[in-house]
A and B are shown apart, each in its own frame.
Chain A
Amino acid sequence: MKVAVLQFPGSNCDQDAFHLFASGLKVNTKYVWHKETSLGDADLVVVPGGFSYGDYLRCGAIARFSPVMKAVQAFSQQGGVVYGICNGFQILCEAGLLPGALIRNSSLEYRCITCALKVETSNASFNPNFLGASVKLPIGHGEGNFRIDEAGLARLEANKQVLLRYENNPNGSLSDIAGIRSEAGNVFGMMPHPDRAFERFHPSMDGLKVATAVLATKFPELLKHTA
């Protein structure tokens, strides 16, 4: 089991994500710099949070054209599991790997709080049986307001692509959406930070099971160990 954490100029949760997988889940984890053109033998690619390229133009708009993103596109087309957290979610939407877009919070405020999230029944691991009815994860973002057209939203709902919904919407997201997966089921994105929720001193430790739920897409045996 190998995890690759991407690093862009301006990523600032790359070490948190590394630590989540390396120490929290004890998985072999490495960094991949955005100039790299190969992901090596990674089983899971994590696109971490932060402010890639200073959020210039739009959040994630420039990172999407980094050389490593070509490799990520190819990896995901072959069924590889890709997981974007916060700015990583924004990058995956900009890259077209996930539908929709994230705009300025309706409050115009940067929101840095711990959110209760309703767990949707989406796949074998993102469901209340594995994760519980609700998880608590911190958010920290100014642009987490998920937007998609009506037809797109209908498709997300029909295909059960919504993973998590805010119980108290902090940013104006359409249908309280906090995280989604791709239709094919191998690309995941969410604004909340499991990488800030796995140590005893964190506001919750639910990040461990949420990250496990993503890994379980490739390694279903994880569902048995932790269930």
Chain B
Amino acid sequence: MDERFGLDRKVRLLGPVPLDSGGSFAPVEIAYETYGTLNEDADNAILVCHALTGDQYCASTHPMTGKPGWWARMVGPGKPVDTDRFCVICANVLGSCMGSSGPASEDPATAVAYGMDFPVITLADMVRAQELLIGHLGIERLHAVIGGSMGGMQTLTWASLFPQRVARAVVIASAARHSAQNIAFHEVGRQAIMADPKWRGGAYYHESDPPTAGLSVARMAAHITYLSEAGLTEKFGRRLQDRTDKSFGFDADFQVESYLRHQGLSFTGRFDANSYLYITRAMDYFDLADAHDGRLAGAFDGTKTRFCLVSFDSDWLYPTAESRRIVHALNGAGADVSFVELSSPFGHDAFLLDNPELDRVVSGFIGASA
């Protein structure tokens, strides 16, 4: 039994991980899960990259919420990403709070949590940490890297930084850069956290009352961006919550208010406020063209990786135009690229929800012989 594979794995890698901000980070702890079996040639591995508040529990029950994995409908035996055929790896990103090194981890130098002493990281730093893990697992070349939203940004970064290690890249509901609007929404979230007196400059780990109010508001604001207006209207309309009349007060009169408050509160039970600051920062700093004099095609010059991009017509967080921009750059680089805009009423969250055409595209793309 190879201890490196299975559910709820954790590894401490010496690294170091070179950081975009200068300097490096070591040692790096990575919490991850694997599903399925790595074959003898180690060429059937698929890395699934999670989104901002996701984690390594993509296909197994979440230990804190008891809910099914966040992509259990996509990853598993007989699923589009078929674990009977592929060895699927999903790792908690650097900076997060589900077991990988992040602001809540203990700094070996001081024996207390890093807090705001944790270095400001980037998407590329996250990917470099994952690359250490892939090496540790003995995988030379990944059959595919797949991700939605921030997971798609990691996937693009993988293909750009380590093209020889990525045979296929599936980028869903994502973008090659954060827009002003994306940054603006994130800034609202960060300010909500930092305005909470319980945030205490990030040093709240030894207190009994972390900044849940701020984190909750951050989640509420972000959650709106994951849904479409039509979706919200259909789900809630102007319906009132547990009452027949307006209260003429500031309770959660409307169902949509009650829903958002619930989303915000339940989020604080599983996520760390500082991790939210660090990861949103990493996303805001993300612009794949930066390292190539602003020319996105430069990120893919000479690539042999096959790309598949999917956007959703109701996603206004990372709209189709952003995917098309990537397709344009990939065409410019002569890359093998597929792209489709799928229809869904569910906004950005569509990539997590049931969509038979998405399943068909993903399974067909990763199943095809190169």
- Co-complex (A, B): no
* A residues neighboring B (CB under 8 Å): none
